[in-house]
Chain A
Amino acid sequence: MELTTEEKEMLEGKHGAAVKKSMEILTALGDIFGAKRLIPVTSVQIAGVSYHNLGDAGLEYLAELAKDGKTRVYTTLNPAGMDLENWQELGIDPEFAKKQKLVIDAFGKMDVITTCTCTPYLVGNKPKQGDHISWSESSAVCYANSVLGAKTNREGGPSALASALTGKTAEFGFHLDENRQAQVIVEVPESPKNVMEFGALGYAIGKKIGKRIPLIRGVDKADLEQLKSFCASIATYGGTALFHMDGITPNKTTVPEEKVEITKEEVENAIKEMNDADEIDFVSIGCPHATIEEVEKIAGMLEGKKVQKEFWVCLARPIKEMAEKKGFAKTITDSGAKFACDTCLAVAPLKGRFKGIATNSAKGVYYGRGKNAFKTKFCTIEECVKEAVGE
């Protein structure tokens, strides 16, 4: 790979140990994937924040880099293992909380904006079309590439942090237009109508075509919440980091020859497959993190009611602050439901605490089952709220 004089100096250690380590990572990845050069990035989102996933080793690595590392571009974090302020109410072990705070402190010391969310695009970390960025979380990567038209590979925690500390990434994969063209046309049987149906469609397409880039036809319209849900689902079940949706997404693409059809039955089967719970004792909305519109909707349905089950609304802290200003937050907490800022069911240590979860998120089903060993009910947001209040 060709490096500029400054980049060579960074690699030699003239800009400090954290920059040197970061450049070693970026240049090694560049060599492995055949990049010709490094390119500047305008935004970074780092995964590997939950202490549950990092462990002491991850924490130690971050503390080491924090000795002299500082971010060179705006950088936010993926969800942590707990609400950083309200962790006690959510039943988090104090020992875990202590370690989780050390993780956040290490990132803070490196000048990372320690807002923890899988929806950075809702809280100001929102790249423009064509921007090169380094993001990690799979639904956010898919949203950035497909819906925003920015360009990112799916980074691991250390490589995204390396981009943050150098302002660079290696130019390969989705940074190059030739790797962003559709590989298969996917015909959809009917346009999905809500967040849950978009999740089910993402599941069906992901399972069918895997990592290939689809050009999806047959979706008439999609709002932000629906696209967010679709990105999470297709990335979880297919590993997809980029899709094109006719008339919806902004990227240009060549049209591939191969075509597959998704049948109504496949979408129905996806919904059936994601439902195996008899007993629900936990309800969670906000995977990916809820928008202010979703919070408003939940507040509207919970007005004057009491929840009978543990109910979490997962979201980025700035969105909760907006909900407080609008009065939605009070309505929700008055019902007994809880906000889980900075975290979600995919990264919080929840195993053994609940038997069955109801969620409108297809991705939530995956993590509810795999990591937490819950049974799952996959349903609309309205049905989730009914489940919580015992109607």
Chain B
Amino acid sequence: MELKGRKIFTGTAKGEAIVSSEGISFYGGVDPENGNVVEKGHPLEGKSVSGKILVFPQGKGSTVGSYTLYQMKKNGVAPKAIINKECETIVAVGAIISEIPCVDSIDIEKIKDGDEIEVDAENGIVKIPG
């Protein structure tokens, strides 16, 4: 099944989805050394987003978070792609400067944690099982 959204930054990716029902603050909320979510009480706390397709509603917190994503990319622990319900400045800028494929305006409730999915960011398409 195909979900249609909007390109934020181009590229393609294929991999396991890690899905958060809540927003993510990269600055302070994710460890750029290993890609682990460290925000207390966050649904993904203790899990790593590294090498996965990260699905969450939208970014939150400090604008420095854009640089955190860049740091994750340089450390080789960034997500393969990012899928948002509604992308905002921090994640959009982070994806662009880190060159991580990113789409938004996706009905993310249709994506289940652990699904094998494909992202074609240029065309804003996400392929999910079923």
| A25 at the binding interface (Cβ < 8 Å) | yes
Asked whether, in the complex, the Cβ of B71 is within 8 Å of the Cβ of A32, the reply is no
Known: A57-B70, A61-B70. A48 touches B8 (CB 8 A): no
Asked whether, in the complex, the Cβ of B96 is within 8 Å of the Cβ of A21, the reply is yes
Q: Which residues of B contact A60 (CB under 8 A)?
A: 70, 74
Query: Secondary structure of the B side of the interface?
Result: helix
Q: Chain A contact residues (Cβ within 8 angstroms of B): what range?
A: 20 to 34
Asked whether, in the complex, the Cβ of B93 is within 8 Å of the Cβ of A32, the reply is no
Query: Secondary structure of the A side of the interface?
Result: helix
| B57 at the binding interface (Cβ < 8 Å) | no
Closest chain A residue, CB of each to CB of B104: A32
Asked whether, in the complex, the Cβ of B68 is within 8 Å of the Cβ of A157, the reply is no
| B90 at the binding interface (Cβ < 8 Å) | yes
| A206 at the binding interface (Cβ < 8 Å) | no
Interface centre among B68, B70, B87 (most CB of A within 10 A): B70
Asked whether, in the complex, the Cβ of A54 is within 8 Å of the Cβ of B96, the reply is no
Asked whether, in the complex, the Cβ of A58 is within 8 Å of the Cβ of B9, the reply is no
| B96 in complex: contacting residue of A24, A47, A53, A155, CB < 8 Å | A24
Asked whether, in the complex, the Cβ of A25 is within 8 Å of the Cβ of B8, the reply is no
| B92 in complex: contacting residue of A21, A32, A54, A155, CB < 8 Å | A32
Query: How distant is A81 from chain B, measured CB to nearest CB, in Å?
Result: 13
| A158 in complex: contacting residue of B8, B27, B97, CB < 8 Å | B97
Chain B 62-86: CB-based contact to A (< 8 A → 1; otherwise 0): 0110111011101100000000000
Asked whether, in the complex, the Cβ of A29 is within 8 Å of the Cβ of B93, the reply is yes
| B88 at the binding interface (Cβ < 8 Å) | yes
Q: Which residues of B contact A48 (CB under 8 A)?
A: 63-64, 67
Q: Which residues of A contact B75 (CB under 8 A)?
A: 57
Asked whether, in the complex, the Cβ of A55 is within 8 Å of the Cβ of B97, the reply is no
Asked whether, in the complex, the Cβ of A61 is within 8 Å of the Cβ of B93, the reply is no
Interface centre among B63, B70, B72, B90 (most CB of A within 10 A): B63
Q: Which residues of A contact B9 (CB under 8 A)?
A: 24, 28
Asked whether, in the complex, the Cβ of B93 is within 8 Å of the Cβ of A156, the reply is yes
| A360 at the binding interface (Cβ < 8 Å) | no
Asked whether, in the complex, the Cβ of A53 is within 8 Å of the Cβ of B93, the reply is no
Q: Which residues of B contact A324 (CB under 8 A)?
A: none
Query: How distant is A367 from chain B, measured CB to nearest CB, in Å?
Result: 12
| A31 at the binding interface (Cβ < 8 Å) | yes
| A28 in complex: contacting residue of B27, B67, B90, B96, CB < 8 Å | B96
Chain B contact residues, CB within 8 Å of chain A: 6, 8-9, 27, 32, 63-64, 66-68, 70-72, 74-75, 87-90, 92-93, 96-97, 104
- 11 interchain pairs (CB within 8 A)? A24-B9, A24-B96, A28-B9, A28-B96, A31-B6, A54-B64, A56-B74, A57-B68, A57-B72, A60-B70, A136-B63
Across chains A and B, which 3 residue pairs bring their CB atoms closest together, nearest first? Answer: A57-B71, A156-B63, A58-B67
